[in-house]
Structure 1
Amino acid sequence: MPSTSTGGDTAPAFRTYVEENLDALGSDPGREALIHGDRRVTAGEIRDLVYRMTRALVAQGLRRGHTVTLLSGNLPEIIAARYAANLLGCKVNHLYNKLSADVQATIVRDVETHTLIVDPRLAARAAEVTALAPVKSVLVLGPSDAGTDLLELAARESAEPFPNQAHPGDVCTIRHTGGTTGHPKGICSTFGQNPFRAMEHNADVRLLVCTTLAHAAGHMADATLREGGVVVLLEDFDPAAVLAAIERERITDLFLLPPLLYQLMDHPDADRTDTSSLRCIAYGGCQSSPARIADAVRRFGPVLLQFYGQNEAGGISILTAEDHDLDHPRHLQRLRSAGKPLEGVEVAIRDEDGRDLPAGEHGEICIRSERLMQGYWKQPELTAEVLRDGWLHTGDIGFVDEEGYITVVDRLKDMIVVVGGHVYTSELEDVLNSHPEVLQSAVFGVRDADRMEQVHAVVVPVPGSGVDAEQLRALVQEERGAMYVPASIVFTEALPLTDAGKPDKKRLRQEAEAAASA
């Protein structure tokens, strides 16, 4: 839809990210664009599939403003389905696969799903979900008893270009939080302010996607396809498979949450795999350990880049590869930070009364940019609480130093209130992770019988190590003082992770509460 003009000059017509990507795919239709297992899909094939799917969706009754929910693994066809739905001006919600059927059904019902598009491998789960939350139409990406075969419908349609139906102010996506801290919230962004649209890659990028396309990897895939690169899709994260794919496909770019990065560099295949093609390992999504990130730099070279962002805010800041210089005199402090704000992003640190705080003081990180969400789906009161006077209150506690680097110390809801003050979970995790025989840790609060919060830690030790709880308590006592000493330290072989790859503290907290009750 053309923008209004002033002074006789015609402003450029509004174009969605889908149109930009389809143009890029059409500019060199014979090039390889998507790789999934033994399948190699050209740019022209995926572009044609989008247009065919769009017409098939219209024939099934979909129109601008309807909601399409996706339930799928990392298939090339699910990218095409998202593009087709967005080209029609539909809202798209992509479910995390590892949520329970009950939570998925709640989301499907909450976003008023018109059509559910399903990976045939998840047909049984789709049946569970739709039994709890019926939808008007179930379309499957292949033959299945779960619904109508969308690919068969699309094959009957024309691959001629289909005009965009979306308006700038229409909701493009409804992204839900992962459900680790309560009922997931629907975060709405519009076609006009796609929060991650500014991400760019070079044309020779070969991106490996090994986490769900419903999370940050989906945005990176969009950027890669738009710039003419190649996207290699793995179904899930497995360190051996990721290392093999890096070597086989000469991967240049990779996104991992910190716990997955640790698994990758700790895998025995890491030392015998050729990873020299890597140019960028982007990490983010949850707190990282400076000591472990330093290990990753030593293992993979100067290719790490930290990205700090939220679905509510889009991108906020980056810690560049140059900022990962281990020869810098304060490199561990630098690695603890989330880098400097992206262009066009304003950051303020504010106290509980909304007053701006000076450099070095802890407060809530507040953001202002053109990429902020429109609001939470059907939650106007929560939206008003988070979005105030054009500023997004992130719920993250942090500070900005004299050089402009942002450090995130905790989530407001994860901060543990103890007798004598506050315990910031990330700071305690940093201390525990600094022990040479600790690979990873997760810290959280659990209320005791008197409703007072107690500090609990779950620790992943180096295999075969002899580290014990008392040694770690002594380390914490020395580094941070008695207030930070955990009441309980439990050892485990691996931390449970969410579908996005974050430590699942909700599950750990429930297990700790159950153990305390027993």
Structure 2
Amino acid sequence: MSAPASATAGAPKGGVAPATKRVMNLSHILRQAARRFPQEIGFVHGPLSVTWAEMDARVDAMAVALAGKGLGKGDRVLVQSKNCLQMFESMFACFRIGAVWVPTNFRQTPDEVAYLAQASGAVAMICHADFPDHERIVREQAPGIATVIGIGDAPFGEDYDALVAAHLGRKGPVADVEHDDPCWFFFTSGTTGRPKAAVLTHGQMAFVITNHLCDLMPGTTQADASLVVAPLSHGAGIHQLVQAARAVKTILLPSERFDVAEAWGLVEKWKVTNIFTVPTITKMLVEHPSVDQFDHSSLRYVIYAGAPMYREDQKRALAKLGKVLVQYFGLGEVTGNITVLPPALHEPEDGPHVKIGTCGFERTGMQVQIQDDQGREVNAFETGEICVCGPAVFAGYYENPEANAKSFRNGWFRTGDLGHMDAEGFVYITGRASDMYISGGSNVYPREVEEKLLQHPALVEVAILGVPDPMWGEVGVAVCVTRDGAPVNEAEIIAFLDGKVSRYKLPKRVFFWEALPKSAYGKITKKMVREALEERGLLPLDKPLERSA
């Protein structure tokens, strides 16, 4: 890996020889759960339930099987699978032998997954039976893959459960690891280009686990239960790793399709105490009629990440669920550990004491700074790039010195998000640097206008992006989704905004769609909205905007 400059250590001082940085192998958290609560249920998927002791034994067996195929410390294992027990176990099995877990977004195309195999240098692949084309294309395009293991009734590779059964009862050695030894290649979503492999390490992730338990879900114990409503390949996987550290049972939705009523039914049945979501999924959970048909009083933490939640959506969620919302801001490269807004600071009503629009304050052990283009800290309330340093920051992008040089400056990781900090240290995200556009020489941050638009009673989702304009350089285009097809038109929306934002921030055009395109993780991305506008022939706009300055 080409490490960023910030990752290089200085020479030891005072004549003291540098000590080893040996740390706990992350798979040990599963062993701890199995020792303390062997017969407690650790994993639930439909009718399947597995105890901690059973899962630890299965992970041992798979670790022995992988080692028997020559896999060991530093080897990358590509995992193409939807959420299931075997996928979850594969993470611990890789950790146990010191290999690197390389999960894909299972909704990616075969060619996209083949690129991830090439970019990671993977030498083995664990693939669910539902993805034969992925396995075939990966084998064709990534000749480095020497071992393939199939999950379920797969027409390829060796059978995962058969390998487990063949080695059950055996315990291989647990790999010794140091702080900076990689354990997980966390691929970025690729919204601004091809995905990059962010290298997460054993030492870093031990801090992340501790920090999540401290800041996101304090008081978590084995009596808790966690419902998974997102792919385990990314943020949900980190969340479930944290749950395992406290022997919290993980509950998967029984089907691939997200069924809101089914989710609420599981909350009631298993007395679920925490859910990791994104704002769009939280919105679906809250606005579906089934929210009133099941008991969700067990919930203590509904954690949303990936994007800030619009204020109107916050209010509706708080009205339905009570003060259980937890927001955190953090990229995969910082494994979520940038800011937190705990339940106590999620107020159901606006007021002078409510910090509307904030994503919270700095996480424990982390430092946030708002910087200008030269890397200088700006004053309170001034807009700049949100930068962060601390033990949760990743080791760098795998074999990508150009991306590392661009993303690190003076030891700070540059998030690419714009925002400001108030005098008390609360951070406010204005938007991605790439989302900002310049109209008539003035900067426009779409999120500010989107927040205003969502106050309109007929609108449930909004995305605004800048597009080229011959007169103003760039202008805004708003794409809106109405509530239950409520009648509303472009003129009404523009009139609603007039007076609420400066005139140069008014969108030139407003389009109404049945739904906004979303990523596999339920996030609305401006890149996908732009592509959809182009596919529908709505871009480029061809008439200059007539308006007063």
TM-score by length of 1: 0.94
**Counterpart for residue 202 of structure 2:** 191
Once the two structures are TM-superposed, the CA of residue 335 in structure 1 deviates from its matched residue by 4.1
Structure 1 residue 129, shift from structure 2 partner: 3.5
Cα RMSD for the two superposed structures:
2.3
Comparing 100-109 with 299-308, greater Cα deviation is found at 100-109
Of 298-307 and 201-210, deviating more is 201-210
What whole-Å deviation, never above 9, does each CA across 1:53-107 have from its counterpart, x for those lacking one? 0010011221211110111111111111111111111111110012222222111
User: Which residue of 2 is the match for residue 266 of structure 1?
Assistant: 287
C-alpha distance after superposition, 1:135-169 (max 9, x if no partner): 21211123321211122122111434433225222
1:214 is paired with a residue of what secondary structure?
coil
| Amino acid corresponding to residue 166 of structure 2 in structure 1 | R
- 1:116–1:139: 8 Å Cα contact kept in structure 2? yes
Aligned counterpart, 2:347:
325
Contact 1:25-1:226 at 8 Å conserved across structures:
no
- Residue equivalent to 2:184: 173
Shift of the 453–127 alpha-carbon distance from structure 1 to 2, 3 Å rule, reads: farther
Instruction: Report 1:123-272 matches (<5 A).
Output: 123-134=132-143, 135-168=145-178, 169-194=180-205, 196-198=208-210, 199-200=212-213, 201-234=220-253, 235-272=256-293
Supply the distance in 1 between the matched residues of 2:264 and 2:317 (Cα, whole angstroms).
14
Q: CA deviation at 1:485?
A: 1.3
**1:487 aligned residue (508, 511, 514):** 508
Answer yes or no: is the 8 Å Cα contact 2:29–2:244 preserved in 1: no
Q: What is the total number of aligned residue pairs between the two structures?
A: 512
Mean CA deviation greater in 399-408 or 150-159: 150-159
* Matched residue SS, 2:130: helix
How far apart are the structure 2 equivalents of 1:447 and 1:456?
10
Distance 2:394 2:538 in 1: 40
Between 1:251-260 and 1:456-465, the stretch displaced more is: 456-465
Percent of residue pairs identical: 28
Amino acid at match of 2:408: L
Aligned residue runs from structure 1 range 11-50, under 5 A: 14-50=23-59
Does the 8 Å contact 1:212/1:236 carry over to 2? no
1:384-429 residue CA offsets vs partner (Å, 9 max, x unmatched): 2212222111111111112211111111111122223111121121
Q: Distance in 1 between matches of 2:177 and 2:363?
A: 27
Q: Stretches of 4+ moved more than 6 A in 1?
A: none
What SS does structure 2 have at the residue aligned with 1:338? strand
After superposition, where does 1:81-480 map in structure 2 within 5 Å? 81-134=90-143, 135-168=145-178, 169-194=180-205, 196-198=208-210, 199-200=212-213, 201-234=220-253, 235-314=256-335, 315-327=337-349, 329-330=351-352, 334-447=355-468, 452-480=473-501
Task: Read off the aligned partner of 1:454 and give its amino acid letter.
Answer: V
Distance in 2, matches of 1:184 and 1:282, equals: 25
**CA pair 76-395 structure 1, distance change in 2 beyond 3 A:** same
What is the CA deviation profile of residues 313-349 of structure 1, one whole-angstrom value per residue up to 9, with x for unaligned ones? 2311110100012356246x62411111111111111
Contact 2:417-2:429 at 8 Å conserved across structures:
yes
Query: Contact 1:90/1:166 (CA < 8 Å) preserved in 2?
Result: no
The 3-state SS of whatever aligns with 1:486 is: coil
Contact 1:17 1:197 in 2 (8 A): no
Q: Separation in 2 of the partners of 1:462 and 1:44?
A: 48
Tell me, in whole angstroms, the C-alpha distance in 1 between the residues paired with 2:305 and 2:225: 20
Mark the runs of 5 or more structure 2 residues left unpaired by the alignment: 1-11, 214-219, 541-549
**Alpha-carbon distance between aligned partners in 2 of 1:346 and 1:69, rounded to the nearest angstrom:** 33
Q: Which stretch of structure 1 is more off in the superposition, 34-43 or 56-65?
A: 56-65
Give me the whole-angstrom Cα distance separating, in 2, the residues matched to 1:208 and 1:80: 17
SS at match of 2:88: helix
Q: Does structure 1 conserve the Cα–Cα contact (< 8 Å) formed by 2:436 and 2:446?
A: yes
Shift of 1:273: 2.2
Closer, same or farther: CA 110–55 of 1 in aligned 2, 3 Å: same
The answer on whether the counterparts of 1:25 and 1:225 sit within 8 Å (CA) in structure 2 is: no
- CA deviation after TM superposition for structure 1 residue 492, in Å: 1.8
Q: Per-residue displacement from partner, 1:16-71 (whole Å, max 9, x unpaired)?
A: 22112322223221111100011011111100011000010011221211110111
1:509 aligned onto 2:518: no
- 8 Å CA contact retained: 1:25, 1:47: yes
TM-score normalized by structure 2? 0.88
- Is 144-153 or 51-60 further displaced after alignment? 144-153
